[in-house]
Structure 1
Amino acid sequence: MSATYLGIDIGTSGVKALLIDETGKIIGDATAPAVEPVRPHPGWSEQNPADWWTATLAAIDTLSKSHATQLAAVRGIGLSGHMHGATLLGKDNDVLRPCILWNDGRSAAECREMEAALPSLRQLAGNIAMPGFTAPKIAWVRKHEPEIFAKIAKVLLPKAYIRLLLSGEAVEDMSDAAGTLWLDVGKRDWSDELLAVTGLNRSHMPRLVEGTAVSGHLKPEFVARWGMSGTVVIAGGAGDNAAAACGIGAIRPGEGFVSLGTSGVLFVSNDKFRPNTNGAVHAFCHAVPDTWHQMGVILSATDSLNWLSKITGQDAATLSNAAEAQFTGPGEEIFLPYLSGERTPHNNAGARGSFIGLSHSTDQAKMAQAVLEGVTFAFRDSQRVLHDAGTRIDRLLAVGGGSKSKLWLKLIATNLDMEIALPEDGDFGGALGAARLGLCAATGADPKSVMAMPAIKTVIAPDKALSAAYSDQYARYRALYPAIEEAIRD
């Protein structure tokens, strides 16, 4: 049989393993759930790294049963994973404490202290110190759990921890490393100055490689377990959003996507490093060499609709359909989608959501429309600060569960004043991007020839008749956050 390639996407809710052939066609996939994260205190979010490993083995074992011959032909593996998580290891690679996850907001004070201690932090890292990033989490551990901090031998991101167990190598790719706040993103190298602010040095960091490069090889015990033969390389891989970009083919300058998942992302690839820390833009290395990307990140996208679903007792699809059925244009109600804080553009972990403009005529459908519009306006905020950084966005594809809503896509296209392309049904997520990176690492193939864009099902155009009305509504939306900021100040 011809060679195949395996992508592994480590998420907080589970792990997905996906196989592709030499042409990039998906052969099969399997998923395994992970134990959900826990919140020991308000604003905290933690998970046991052993849960990712258990789910990884389970997903690949399932794939081995359903696609034994194809899995046995694997020559390259790529990894994708949720970013920013602080996995602390001792001298024998023992896990010192639960991983502090990307959506943990406990380290806001440490962020301020880091920026005060190193005035050049933003210039070096290309990003604001945010509680979501890895470095402030370590600063928190240093202050509040000194006995744990003293034992740290290595700090790994989630997918790097899985790589360590699969290969024995402590390695990280550039895109994931850029989200730690320890990387000089322009130079694509660890920064001694950034590390020193948190009391660490290069010995605590994994080795860096590009996402398309070989990072190590699968241990013989796993080669045997899954019926493989010969040498199986493991690619550097990518953080989840960069991996999704590889899966959807957004690796050339100006190409991007809007992701309507639990969180929301407006992602665009760049030919240069273009930070805009004033707008809380994420400026990271891409998973392919000599390429960067920017993101506007919204912490509660479909999570906002799911929240409304829980308090109304109506499922999210029913709410979205009800909003679409009565839609005529902007409503009176406005929703600020800051249920778990916000990154772009406010960088406020303490921000909270608000409904404004409620009246006796407000019903569930109107509240649902306000939620869809509020998240859309958050994307418009991200587009605005990306443009402020000099970024050109030529093409956007829509991905994620929220892209099933026709109204939501119409609102986004109208407010961004851009056509939004919706791919044919298929899997274009992190696991596919990881598999494509595994193929590149194993064969030396040019990423541009491997990471093609998918066939497009439909293109949603802006509704020009609503443009002026939504510009007015967006202006009202923008005025609300500073008006109530003092009440929600972190």
Structure 2
Amino acid sequence: MREPTSLALGIDVGTSGVRAVLLDATAQVVGFSTARMTDNGADLRDPAVWQRTFAAALSNLEPAARAKVGAISVDGTSGTVLPLDATGRALGKALLYNDSVADPEIPAAIAEVAPPTSAAHGASSGLARAMHLAARPGVRRIVHQADWIAGLLSGRPWVSDESNALKTGYDPVSRRWPDWLGSLIAPDLLPEVRPTGQPTGLVTAEAAEQYGLPQEAALIAGMTDGCASFLATGADRPGDGVTALGTTLTLKLLSDRPVFDPNCGIYSHRLGSLWLAGGASNSGGGALAVHFTAEEIAALSARIDPDRESALDYYPLPKVGERFPTADPDLAPRILPRPEDDRLFLQGLLEGIARIEAAGYRRLAELGAPPLARLRSVGRGASNTCWSAIRRRIVTTEMTGAESEEAAVGVARLALDHLANRRVADP
């Protein structure tokens, strides 16, 4: 008798490796594995390296658990694209999320026809990379990293999702490839696009045998790794925000409507009936690292009273230039006067970054997103309890812990939702 297919599998294809997570019906992690790209080849642009790393991550999961997988969803790095030949096989190497095209005519051509709110502008957009790859001989389709990995299981690598397609020019409001794209790239080169969370196919017999998965397992349209990381925290309703306290300060807010501000780099991913809007400030941990080591920050933070204001009005930046919540390439760091007490100076810096965070969420609300209602934090800075207390005082909203920071958990939730809906429809 066949085992019941009750587990959801999330695959996160990141910058350095592949992570696989299994969730049970209660959203608990019952299996986790990881594999490094560098253990499977040196060239991260080679899709064969992706495939070997993907296979290694799956093989590290217990075979008995893999046999219970009922639905699978995949996330990949945003804007990473790959050319395919007429048979659907990879045609040469990919262009990664951080590759920029050297030909200045490509971003200029995009700027001439794309609306300002499109996420496809610039030499490092998914569209710019797709246009560059389209010139290769024999190219018949251009897909995203997540599309191709999911296609290894479904045999349909030309099916994408509304999140990964965004930076390739997809219009998430009208839910289609816009007409203006036709002047830049042949429409038949672009992948089919399905709403995130919707079924895209089934595991083929060949893939089932190769990877130890049930043939009837459903493939569910995924998302970018950034969106998956957001869902992993447990944020699930309009007004939920997630602040990433890394080298830069990145804010994401779940909204019931799309918001855009091209001047500040704000655009919205469509996630089913909801939208994920966000922006990134140049402030953050990088602005602190200009003045203190991580060890100094930890030691000084322990001596700060976070409930007593420093009265210092700082705007910490690692260098000149800001992009969000205001776009000003000439904005200089404001970190004067500097007190003799390093403890007080650090407090002023932490308060300044917290004020930028609060202003960022206010800016998103001014554009039409809901006010920030609940806040979760991820990244190295989230473990600093003093900074968290300062942020709680300045941002003035309910703060709760992130359930997970694993993107694989977030994308697995999409597969889990499909299983839950299937159980309701067919009790």
Q: TM-score range by the shorter chain?
A: 0.7 to 0.9
Residue of structure 1 equivalent to 2:267: 282
Residue of structure 2 equivalent to 1:56: 54
Is residue 427 from structure 1 mapped to residue 412 from structure 2 by the alignment?
Answer: no
Does the 8 Å contact 2:284/2:317 carry over to 1?
no
Q: Residues of 1 paired with 2:14 and 2:23: CA distance?
A: 20
Q: Residues of 2 paired with 1:252 and 1:334: CA distance?
A: 31
The CA deviation string for residues 41-93 of structure 1, in whole angstroms up to 9 with x for no partner, is: xxxxx844443333222211111xxx221121111111122212233344453
Is residue 171 from structure 1 mapped to residue 148 from structure 2 by the alignment?
Answer: no
Q: Residues of 1 paired with 2:422 and 2:229: CA distance?
A: 19
CA 1:422/1:360 → structure 2, altered by over 3 Å: closer, same or farther? closer
Residue of structure 1 equivalent to 2:170: 183
Structure 2: gaps (5+ residues): none
The Cα shift of 1:331 comes to: 5.4
Aligned match of 2:360 in 368, 372, 382?
382
What TM-score do you get using the length of structure 2 for normalisation? 0.81
CA 1:368/1:111 → structure 2, altered by over 3 Å: closer, same or farther? farther
- What amino acid does structure 2 have at the position aligned with 1:122? P
The CA deviation string for residues 375-432 of structure 1, in whole angstroms up to 9 with x for no partner, is: 5455345224212202222222222332111133233333433232224xx5353211
Which secondary structure state, in structure 2, belongs to the residue aligned with residue 122 of structure 1?
coil
Q: Residues of 2 paired with 1:358 and 1:276: CA distance?
A: 33
Residue of structure 2 equivalent to 1:70: 65
Compute the RMSD of aligned alpha carbons: 3.7
- What amino acid does structure 2 have at the position aligned with 1:21? D
The Cα shift of 1:200 comes to: 0.8
Structure 1: gaps (5+ residues): 37-45, 448-490
Does the 8 Å contact 2:83/2:143 carry over to 1?
yes
- What amino acid does structure 1 have at the position aligned with 2:395? L
Residue of structure 2 equivalent to 1:133: 125
The Cα shift of 1:98 comes to: 4.0
Is residue 252 from structure 1 mapped to residue 256 from structure 2 by the alignment?
Answer: no
Is residue 335 from structure 1 mapped to residue 338 from structure 2 by the alignment?
Answer: no
Is residue 223 from structure 1 mapped to residue 208 from structure 2 by the alignment?
Answer: yes
CA 1:81/1:138 → structure 2, altered by over 3 Å: closer, same or farther? closer
Q: Residues of 2 paired with 1:109 and 1:19: CA distance?
A: 44
Does the 8 Å contact 2:74/2:221 carry over to 1?
yes
Q: Residues of 1 paired with 2:349 and 2:93: CA distance?
A: 37
Residue of structure 1 equivalent to 2:147: 160
Q: Which moved more, 1:236-245 or 1:182-191?
A: 236-245
The CA deviation string for residues 441-471 of structure 1, in whole angstroms up to 9 with x for no partner, is: 3453599xxxxxxxxxxxxxxxxxxxxxxxx
Q: Residues of 2 paired with 1:76 and 1:304: CA distance?
A: 42
Is residue 272 from structure 1 mapped to residue 272 from structure 2 by the alignment?
Answer: no
Q: Residues of 1 paired with 2:324 and 2:313: CA distance?
A: 25
Does the 8 Å contact 2:77/2:145 carry over to 1?
yes
The CA deviation string for residues 168-191 of structure 1, in whole angstroms up to 9 with x for no partner, is: 2111111222233x1112112111
Does the 8 Å contact 1:233/1:442 carry over to 2?
no
Does the 8 Å contact 2:314/2:349 carry over to 1?
no
- What amino acid does structure 1 have at the position aligned with 2:324? T
**1:74-223 equivalent positions in 2, closer than 5 A:** 74-92=69-87, 93-101=89-97, 103-104=98-99, 113-114=108-109, 116-118=111-113, 121-123=115-117, 125=118, 127=119, 129-138=121-130, 141=132, 148=136, 151-169=138-156, 170-180=158-168, 182-193=169-180, 195-197=181-183, 199-223=184-208
The Cα shift of 1:358 comes to: 8.2
Which secondary structure state, in structure 1, belongs to the residue aligned with residue 164 of structure 2?
helix
CA 1:281/1:128 → structure 2, altered by over 3 Å: closer, same or farther? farther
Which secondary structure state, in structure 2, belongs to the residue aligned with residue 266 of structure 1?
strand
The Cα shift of 1:128 comes to: 7.5
Which secondary structure state, in structure 1, belongs to the residue aligned with residue 277 of structure 2?
strand
Aligned match of 1:30 in 13, 23, 33?
33
Bigger fraction of residues in helix: 1
The CA deviation string for residues 278-303 of structure 1, in whole angstroms up to 9 with x for no partner, is: 443122212xx222221113467456
CA 1:433/1:403 → structure 2, altered by over 3 Å: closer, same or farther? same
Q: Residues of 2 paired with 1:219 and 1:230: CA distance?
A: 6
Q: Percent identity?
A: 24
Q: Residues of 2 paired with 1:214 and 1:321: CA distance?
A: 46
Which secondary structure state, in structure 2, belongs to the residue aligned with residue 387 of structure 1?
helix
Q: Residues of 1 paired with 2:90 and 2:330: CA distance?
A: 36
What TM-score do you get using the length of structure 1 for normalisation? 0.72
- What amino acid does structure 2 have at the position aligned with 1:87? L
